[in-house]
Amino acid sequence: MPEVRFTVRWPDASVSDCYSPSTVIHEFLAAGASYPVADFMQRCRTALQLASDRVRLKYGYACSSALDQLERLEARAAVLPLDPTAIVTIVAMRP
């Protein structure tokens, strides 16, 4: 399956390099786009679960890398202040 690596900038200006095992992530995130944190996280939850499901359909098992990535994103978002105006920016998306 074609994987996608993407870089996000958090509201505190820190940067995370992320991974999706599937190009389905392109249906939910776009390079250069910005999303409120809650929206970004919902998009990631959906996209990474779909990516894991695609791996399951093709290989017979879920993609632990996609689920691990989601856990890291969840942990990172959990330490941010509750600010509905805070945004996450997609710095880059690479095949």
77 three-state secondary structure: helix
d(CA 48, CA 42) in angstroms, rounded, equals: 10
Q: Which of 39, 13, 2, 1 is nearest to 91 (CA)?
A: 13
Q: What is the mean pLDDT of residues 22-42?
A: 97
43-90, pLDDT tens digit by residue? 999 999 999 999 999 999 989 999 999 999 999 999 998 898 999 999
Residue pair 37/11 in contact by the 8 Å Cβ criterion: yes
Q: Which stretches does DSSP call E strand in the chain?
A: 4-9, 15-20, 34-36, 87-94
